[in-house]
Amino acid sequence: MAKIFTDEDDALLAELGVEPEVKRSGGRSAREERIIAGFEEVQRFVDEKGHVPRHSEDGDIFERLYAVRLDRLREQAECRELCLPLDRQGLLHGSLDHLTVPDEDLDDDALLAELGIEAEAPAITELRHVRSSAERKAADEVANRETCANFDRFKPLFEQVQRELDTGMRETRPFELKAEIEKGRFFIVGGQKAYVAEKGEVTLTDQGRTDARLRVIFDNGTESNMLMRSLQRALNKDEAGRRITDPVAGPLFSGQVDQDDQASGTIYVLRSKSDHPMVATNRELVHKIGVTSNDVHQRIKGAHLQTTYLMADVELIATYKLYNLSRSKLEALIHRIFGSVRLDIQILDRFGRPVVPEEWFMVPFFVIDEAVEKIKDGTITNYVYDPSKAALVERCAN
């Protein structure tokens, strides 16, 4: 037998985003279908995020709206009874004692204000319209871009940032705070790098929150004059949204060590005493460049028994002490610079098995020393090694 909904029921259902409608013959009413659809949206959220939607002032707008919706579904016996057969995640069995439900007397604009959403004209009169409106707005803020007329000015910045990401001078980290959005900062949103080229005067919204107009340049040659809060929402909503850290400040390592600096390891340069024809012919050019956290002299003991040292004794040419650095990233950087002249040589180990050693390069020592100096002052990403000139040369602009 079909249930009869009172005016009070209709008002409560309206808060769930459904409208009173007559029951369709032979099935559920449109209202019941919408209740179920709303519940299924909450279920999809739980599937994707791995937790029930939470009431959190710092949380995603839609998560807070789903939390309100779930609270209402739990409260209303009719809604709970309708959705219970579909409740594969046990969402409707939660306790009602600790629900954080907005005041029943709040109108929709006040409810949205509590959720941190600004009501815009025309006024939002039904909670069920909030999600689609907010989604369209968020999409428009990112998609409503125009061609950047002077992108040639910004293109080298994006190229430099990519090189610094490749070498470990910059990193990507999850976006956390609106305060991170400042002029000169880089972000990743919607799969594109975004550069905050300009930031206007900071103002207060009607809800007392800070905001500012930004000029954001994207690496595909477009730009957008979006609000700071709009970029914040886009980054929060994008699971792959990231901020790009600033490059490492100051020299990577130097002779002056501060009291709080932590030793990271040592770059070492070796020359082989092997009688292998290729090594013997190019002894002044063949160098091993490595990074270690251990004592270098201790590390090279017994070199003649290890294929990594070409099964021969070695000569220690130079060492450079590292501070506050990732050894693996620095080693990868050095090997990338000289990757084009990596020594292609095969050595037999003690058991007669062929091994191709790594970290050996056909490069003059003075070039290695110059590369270390450029790593120190942070300019190495502007250079590549040119074997034909036996020198570091500036990268050509693409």
Q: What is the pLDDT of residue 2?
A: 45
Same domain flag for 61 and 134: yes
**Residue 2 domain-assigned (yes or no):** no
Helix, strand, coil percent content, the chain, rounded in steps of 5: 40, 20, 40
pLDDT tens across 211-228, in order? 899 999 999 999 999 999
Q: Do 334 and 289 touch, CB atoms closer than 8 A? A: yes
**Residue 258 domain-assigned (yes or no):** no
Which of 212, 244, 276 finishes a domain?
244
The encoded tokens of residue 250 equal 């100051």
- Average pLDDT of the residues in 270-292: 92
Same domain flag for 383 and 270: yes
Q: What is the pLDDT of residue 293?
A: 82
Same domain flag for 95 and 150: no
Q: What is the pLDDT of residue 360?
A: 93
**Residue 17 domain-assigned (yes or no):** yes
The encoded tokens of residue 350 equal 């003690």
**Residue 162 domain-assigned (yes or no):** yes
- Average pLDDT of the residues in 346-362: 88
Count of Cβ atoms closer than 10 Å to residue 305 Cβ: 11
Question: How confident is residue 173, by pLDDT bands cut at 50, 70 and 90?
Answer: confident
- Give the separation between CA 198 and CA 305, rounded to whole angstroms: 60
SS3 31: helix
Range of 53's domain? 7-138
Same domain flag for 272 and 220: no
Same domain flag for 190 and 216: yes
Among residues 2, 88, 100, 103, the alpha carbon closest in space to that of 40 is found at 88
Least confident of 1-10, 74-83, 230-239, 342-351: 1-10
Q: What is the pLDDT of residue 205?
A: 78
Among residues 85, 112, 44, the alpha carbon closest in space to that of 52 is found at 44
Same domain flag for 343 and 366: yes
Same domain flag for 282 and 316: yes
Among residues 183, 203, 202, 179, the alpha carbon closest in space to that of 194 is found at 183
**Residue 256 domain-assigned (yes or no):** no
Q: What are phi and psi of 295, to 5 degrees?
A: -65, 130
Same domain flag for 210 and 269: no
Which of 211, 244, 277 finishes a domain?
244
The encoded tokens of residue 199 equal 């930031």
Same domain flag for 303 and 217: no
Question: What one-character DSSP code corresponds to residue 179?
Answer: G
**Residue 373 domain-assigned (yes or no):** yes
Which of 189, 209, 244 finishes a domain?
244
- Bigger pLDDT: 14 or 167? 167
- Give the separation between CA 230 and CA 139, rounded to whole angstroms: 10
Q: Which residues share a beta bridge with 224?
A: 216
**Residue 220 domain-assigned (yes or no):** yes
Same domain flag for 109 and 176: no
**Residue 255 domain-assigned (yes or no):** no
- pLDDT at 171 exceeding the cut of 50: yes
**Domain count across the chain:** 3
Q: What is the pLDDT of residue 271?
A: 94
* pLDDT > 70 in the chain, percent: 72
Same domain flag for 372 and 279: yes
Same domain flag for 175 and 286: no
- Give the separation between CA 346 and CA 381, rounded to whole angstroms: 31
- pLDDT at 25 exceeding the cut of 50: no
Count of Cβ atoms closer than 10 Å to residue 244 Cβ: 20
- pLDDT at 195 exceeding the cut of 90: yes
